Structure 1
């Protein structure tokens, strides 16, 4: 089985004299990716085996087998950490998906192909799916009321057709009728 690589984070500043480092996270699952025993690849060609982790003042501090002292920790600063994972790996919650699983899915509206997911945008209020359509790009909030079904096996997701969400004409008609009141 081919594995895909995901960026877990980057090694930051050394913390103390025994090789512990801060890791600048690039993952939503640090508990999973930085669990003791995990082996990560560095973009410097090395490997990094997690011994232990802890949170300290809002940062993740990690001890790696390969970084035995402060000098080694300082030398590794800036190294990007990568994990190799199976492409079908899923998050722990059945209602969650990795961006890589959603990008490329066909968006289905009223039983017809509407476009494809081009990106997932993570905004403070909610995540948005960026859908590439024949009429341009549409942004759809990734909530169960609007996207009731995600079918990874068939590479598709279903979008509920809500007036104004997917078509400019419906939005303009709604605006006009409200202005006429």
Structure 2
């Protein structure tokens, strides 16, 4: 039997130094911190290329909770200066078994190539996923160019990997902005004849 496919899983972001001994407040991107953040857990880092931590890993010493906020302690991060050098770093777990996928967690390779559907009609295809500290963006290729779609529940309410479909409910103008660059100026009444203009 072949081994189950494995990949990376993004599990958190370091947000703020806590105290003077290297502790760092953590924003969780996982519903299962008790499994992901155990002493000895190792994380790869998504940081700018100029960061001294670029290409390095962190090993967790301890995870504690202060006023409901998770605070992480890492090996080799022993003072506030070291902690501050890691702020905004995104933590990834390597070689995660795909069968361990968490609810509502998808991997980039699962999303790329999916059809993007709005109101029952295909509007484009996911070509990549961009990860940023605030949120992820689905980059959708449309006939008029690429559209950046915030990967949040309000705009992307459903992902069906099996069916190959991402359902979107974008705000007005998100997909039309690119098309408008080359769109006709419209008739005297301002109508362009675009179906998207009718709500």
TM range (shorter): 0.5 to 0.7
Please state whether the residue corresponding to 2:196 is helix, strand or coil: helix
Matched, 1:3 2:7: yes
- What do residues 149-181 of structure 1 show as CA deviations (whole Å, max 9, x unaligned)? 633135333569xxx997771134x38xxxxxx
Pairwise mapping of residues 1-181 of structure 1 onto structure 2 (< 5 A)?
1-4=5-8, 6=10, 8-10=12-14, 12-15=16-19, 19=21, 21-25=23-27, 27-29=28-30, 32=33, 35-37=37-39, 39-41=41-43, 43=45, 44=53, 45-56=56-67, 59-64=69-74, 66=75, 72-74=78-80, 76-77=82-83, 78-79=85-86, 80=89, 81-86=91-96, 88=98, 89-92=100-103, 96-98=104-106, 100=108, 101-108=110-117, 114-118=123-127, 119=129, 131-137=140-146, 150-157=159-166, 169-172=194-197, 174=198
Distance of 2:145 and 2:44 partners within structure 1: 39
Relative to the length of structure 2, the TM-score reads 0.50
Q: Give the C-alpha shift of residue 35 in structure 1.
A: 2.8
Alignment length (residue pairs)? 157
Aligned pair in 2 of structure 1 residues 28, 6: CA closer, same or farther (>3 Å)?
closer
Say which SS state the counterpart of residue 86 (structure 1) adopts.
strand
- Gap runs ≥5 in structure 1: 176-181
Answer whether contact 1:103 1:120 (CA < 8 A) is retained. no
Unaligned stretches of 5+ in structure 2? 46-52, 180-193
* Residues in 2 aligned to 1:4 and 1:38: alpha-carbon distance in whole angstroms: 17
**Cα-Cα RMSD:** 4.8
User: How far does residue 36 in structure 1 lie from its aligned partner after superposition?
Assistant: 2.7
Pick closer, same or farther for the CA change 1:55–1:117 going to 2, 3 Å.
Answer: farther
Deviations 1:10-58 (A, max 9, x none): 3753525xx4502353x432752753336123554354124232134x7
CA shift, 1:61, in A, is: 1.7
Instruction: State the distance in 2 between where 1:42 and 1:166 align.
Output: 34
Cα shift at 1:134? 1.0
Give the superposition deviation at 1:106: 1.9
Q: 1:84 Cα deviation (Å)? A: 1.6
Q: Give the direction of change, closer, same or farther, for the CA distance of 1:53–1:85 in structure 2 (3 Å limit).
A: farther
